[in-house]
Amino acid sequence: MLAVDKPLAILCEIDQIGARASQWRHFKAIRSVGYWRNYFQNYSYIYNDRMEVISMIMIINLVEKMDVRKVLVWVTLSFLLGNGVAFADYKSAYSAYEAKDYKTAFKAMLPLAEKGNLDAQFHIATMYYDGLGVKKDRSISVVWLTKVAIRGDMYAQALLADRYFFGVGAEKNDKTAVKWYTKSAEQGYGFAQVSLGHMYDKGRGVLTDFVRGYMWYNLGAYNGGFRGGKEVESIAKKMTITQIAKAQEMSNRCLESNYTDC
C-alpha cells in the first residue's frame, strides 16, 4: 500500500490541492468519478510522486464526496498491476524524444501507444506529422491524434479540429472541426473556445451566430486564448447592445455551469 507519513487531512489541505491541481491540464473542469477513474487508467503511470497521487485522490473525494479509501485502494492496485513498469518505459522513450533521438523514441513509443498509453499516442501523432524518426505521414498522424481526442484530451481535440479546419492530414471539413473544437472548448481550453467563436462568427460549419460567437470569444479571452479579447471587440461592432448583453449573460451562465449550459 502507499505509505503515508501524516494524516491525509494535513497533507492535502484545500489550498495545497488547488495549487497543485491547477498545474494539471485535465483538472480544468470538474468531471464525474467515472471521468477521473478513466483519467487514472490513462495517466497513473506518470505519477511517481506520492503527493501527486494523494492530492488527486483528495480532489475526487472533495468533488464527489466519494470514500477516499476506496479510491486509494483502486489507485494502489493500478500501480501493483504494472504501472511502475509502464512509467519507466515511457520515461525512457520520452528521454530519447527530448534528446532528439527520434528514431529511438519512435521505436520505444510505438509499443506503448499501441497498448493505449495516451501520451505515447500523442507523441506518435506528432512524430508522424513532422516526420521525426519516421517517414512523414500526416494522414496517419490524424489517426493517432483521433485516438487521443476520443479519450477526452482537450489539447488533442483542438489539434484534431485544426486538422479538419485546414485540411491537413484529413479532408477539409468545417462541421467536423466544429465538433472537435466544441468538445475541447467545453473542457475550458481557451484556444479552442476562441476557434469555436470564429466558427460561429464566420458561419463555418454552423449557421452564423454573433451572440454565440461573442460568448465563445469571451470565454476564450477569460481562459487566456490567443486574440480572444481582440475578437470580442471585433465581433461586438457587428452586434446590438441587446445582443451583447445576451452574449455576456450566456458567457456567465456557461462558466458558472462548468460548461454544461452553454
Tell whether 130 is covered by a domain.
no
Tell whether 150 is covered by a domain.
no
Q: Under a CB-based contact definition with an 8 Å cutoff, are residues 145 and 137 in contact? A: no
HSE (side-chain half, CA atoms, 13 Å) at 4: 17
Q: Is the pLDDT of residue 46 over 80?
A: no
Taking the C-alpha atoms of residue 133 and residue 244, their distance in angstroms, rounded to an integer, is 50
Read off the pLDDT of residues 193-220 as tens digits, 9 standing for 90 and up. Answer: 999 999 999 999 999 999 999 999 999 9
Closest CA to 9 of 58, 81, 75: 58
Q: Is the pTM of this model over 0.95?
A: no
User: Domain boundary residue among 55, 83, 111?
Assistant: 83
Cell numbers for 93: 522513450
User: Domain boundary residue among 83, 117, 139?
Assistant: 83
Is the model more confident about 218 or about 64? 218
Domain that holds residue 241: 177-262
Q: What pLDDT score does 25 carry?
A: 38
